[in-house]
Structure 1
Amino acid sequence: MSQKKIAILFLDEIHHINHFVTVAIALSKTSSVSILTYPDKHAYLHKTLSRLNGDEVIIEQLKTAPFRAFTDTLKGRSIPRKGFWIKKNRAYILKKFDAIIFTDFFHRYFTEARGEANVPKFIKITHGTPGRGYSLKPQQLDFDLQLLPGKNYLELLKNNNLLAQHHAVVGYPKINAVPDVSSMNLFPNQKKIVLYNPHFSPPLSSWHTQGLQILDYFYNQQEYNLIFAPHINLFHKVGGDTIDSIPEKYFHCPTIHMDLGSEKSVDMVYINKADIYLGDVSSQVYEFIINPRACIFINAEKVDFNEDPKFRFWQCGDVVEHTETLGTALRNASENFSIYKPVQEKITEENYYTEAGSTASERAAKAILNFLNAN
């Protein structure tokens, strides 16, 4: 049986890396694996592969068209526009590889060119824990193989007629990439740490209506430490907010740690160091409750969420609408946690498949190779 050639497309910010990197390493033990990306230093990608002994994984840096590179530079884009990059490199990719792994939905540029052909196979890995509407796109059915983290997503896809013929529940590979942070100290005290992790997408993000009020609350109190680590796209996405919108005083407060998009904001460092989660609609809370802890959610738009499955994560803690009630919610967080702990444990069991004797990344690699060898 010939060695399979597998490509993983990386055309996004660094928060996608930990969702595929350990799968790439597991596949590289028996297959030729290339991470296809744009020209850059890619320091975090190289560092992560090195830390996890991924020396066999190949990184191929492919250029976009010269004119597009020029206009990207003019517009301040650090990442080339996906469509133009793909069109420039599509013929090479379609010809060379047996399979292409995607962590997002820009596969359509390849779907059109592949036409009725049977190869390469298109494989989908999630880049977060699914649950919101974004994960239920009709394009799910374009993939030849879906790798799913757990039974909750399996049922969501099935109930929405989006489950591909070929799929496998493998678990959550990102967990296998998380570094040990037990010895890391972010604050020179033993106060409880609150992680404020707003999503980037209005209108449901709490940042755009209450974010500065929340920072100001923590600036003017002495009971808690705060980590402000929003979704990386809040300040890094083209058209997103700018750092200038945040008063300088918060960056110099000894009880506030500001991180608007570093490596630590994507590898679960802050999630594993915090005592209380404060957020809105980011799926990162699902990673937080793997180790059950108190959660508080901000319903900035006063949506009716109780019967809406897209707000399933709000079952994990108290939901507040106004910053004025934040102090009370924080004081009640520990007392109320006993109510939410069994809910969190149940949700985690539904979200993430586990199996003794193997990792999610190993199971994902096995599912991919079994599928390719059979099809």
Structure 2
Amino acid sequence: MKIGFLYNHDALHQVSHTAPVIAALTRDARADVTVLTSSDAQAMRVRDLIGAEAAAKVRFVALDIGRIARVLDAGLRWIAPFRRIAVLRENLAEFARLDALVVPETTSLMLRDRFGLTDLKYVWIPHGAGDRSVGFRSVMKGFDLVLLSGSKVRDRMLALGLVTPDNHAIVGYPKFETVDLTRRPRLFADERPVVLYNPHFDPLLSSWYPWGEAIVDGAVARGDVNLAVAPHVMLFQRRIHASVEHRRLHWRRDVPERWRDRPGLIVDPGSPRSIDMSYTLGADIYIGDASSQIYEWIARPRPAIFLNPGRIDWVDDPNFAHWHLGEVVDDITQLNAAIDRALADPHRFDAVQREAFARTFDRSDRPAAERAAAEILKMP
């Protein structure tokens, strides 16, 4: 079977969700694997994750776009994913060589729905296991095979009719095979507790636009904690963030000059530590809003605080199920008190976090990547 793995994104955060499956497939003679990337950084990241032995068994293809598309992308890249679509449209011959294409996102379905590649089998391994409504859209019905992390996501997708009993499988979370979940990276030189602020980029749901500066200034002013600001990697990839789903636009401001080289403060706009779980493994308290990284955070239960500047009615909304894993702050003046409570009672939400982790990620003695590879090779 000729199996392609596509990486076609502005950032590298999606790569670790599917790359381990490549290495697993190279150990099976039935698999002929091609890795298709739209940047050198993606190809390098794949090679790093799968290792030299597996990489030697894989065909790497660099996808490019023409001059006109590059000119258009230069003007549009800060507000829209123009290049991603151009990469699909201008490399159809490479995709047509394959029997199956494995992707961590849904834009690739345009190959079939817009560009006519109807003979290709499409396999989706979601890049994350969060609750946002964007992860449960009708476009997902278009995949031939969906490989999921656990029963939480599976049950919701079945209830919504996004998958059928026959076109999905629970395989676990391949990304966890790229990191040591027991490690504790040292983020600061001193021993003060580390607070991680992990805002999303979504124009409606993110706390960054209305509260971000006040959150950072307030945490720094406390003096008893260190603060690592590590937003979703896409926040600083674009100047304007648009949400088709929520019909909102937001202009992303620059990082204030007063934060630069400030003791006890890290502001990371998208380094490799933003995608390898360094911050979620190294911090003591999580502050966030809509990111699926909260489910990676609870691999080791710790305090979590969720920010609700829009005063969303969230309690019975499945899109905010993760807000039950910690304390929810509706008014920024409540944040310092919430941090105090987290420091004083760090185990308050341990039980509910452990239960949510077990429902979100199916763990077994067989690695998730091997389970995913076996399901792909079973496809007719």
The residue type paired with residue 84 of structure 1 is A
Tell me the SS of whatever aligns to 1:146. strand
Q: Which residue of the partner structure matches residue 367 of structure 1?
A: 375
The residue type paired with residue 7 of structure 2 is F
Query: Does the CA contact (< 8 Å) of 2:194 and 2:227 recur in 1?
Result: yes
Once the two structures are superposed, the pairs formed by residues 1-375 of structure 1 within 5 Å of their partners are: 4-12=1-9, 13-30=11-28, 31-42=31-42, 43-50=44-51, 54-75=55-76, 81-94=83-96, 96-112=97-113, 117=118, 119-164=119-164, 165-178=166-179, 182=183, 184-237=185-238, 239-240=240-241, 245-356=254-365, 358-371=366-379, 375=380
Which deviates more, 36-45 or 185-194? 36-45
Quick one: distance in 1 between partners of 2:195 and 2:76?
36
Quick one: distance in 2 between partners of 1:52 and 1:20?
17
Q: What is the total number of aligned residue pairs between the two structures?
A: 366
Listed one character per residue, the Cα deviations across residues 134-178 of structure 1 (whole Å, up to 9, x for unaligned) are 111111111110101000111001111111331110001110112
Q: 1:237 to 1:125 in 2, by over 3 A?
A: farther
Q: 1:131 to 1:68 in 2, by over 3 A?
A: same
Q: Which residue of the partner structure matches residue 247 of structure 2?
A: none
Deviation (angstroms), 1:123 = 0.4
Q: 1:76 to 1:125 in 2, by over 3 A?
A: closer
Q: 1:293 to 1:10 in 2, by over 3 A?
A: same
Query: Does the CA contact (< 8 Å) of 2:326 and 2:349 recur in 1?
Result: yes
What percentage of residue pairs aligned between the two structures are identical? 31
Tell me the SS of whatever aligns to 1:8. strand
Query: Does the CA contact (< 8 Å) of 1:21 and 1:177 recur in 2?
Result: no
Deviation (angstroms), 1:248 = 1.7
The residue type paired with residue 367 of structure 1 is E
TM-score by length of 1: 0.91
Q: 1:305 to 1:244 in 2, by over 3 A?
A: closer
Q: 1:307 to 1:256 in 2, by over 3 A?
A: same
Quick one: distance in 2 between partners of 1:325 and 1:113?
48
TM-score by length of 2: 0.90
Listed one character per residue, the Cα deviations across residues 68-89 of structure 1 (whole Å, up to 9, x for unaligned) are 1232235567986222221111
Query: Does the CA contact (< 8 Å) of 1:148 and 1:170 recur in 2?
Result: yes
Quick one: distance in 2 between partners of 1:186 and 1:116?
47
What is the aligned-residue RMSD (CA, Å)?
2.3
Quick one: distance in 1 between partners of 2:185 and 2:138?
42
Query: Does the CA contact (< 8 Å) of 1:228 and 1:259 recur in 2?
Result: yes
Which deviates more, 192-201 or 336-345? 336-345
Deviation (angstroms), 1:270 = 0.6
Query: Does the CA contact (< 8 Å) of 1:9 and 1:37 recur in 2?
Result: yes
Query: Does the CA contact (< 8 Å) of 2:226 and 2:264 recur in 1?
Result: yes
> What 5-or-longer segments of structure 2 have no aligned partner?
242-249
Query: Does the CA contact (< 8 Å) of 2:193 and 2:225 recur in 1?
Result: yes
Query: Does the CA contact (< 8 Å) of 1:69 and 1:80 recur in 2?
Result: no
Deviation (angstroms), 1:54 = 4.2
Quick one: distance in 1 between partners of 2:349 and 2:126?
26
> What 5-or-longer segments of structure 1 have no aligned partner?
none
Deviation (angstroms), 1:267 = 1.2
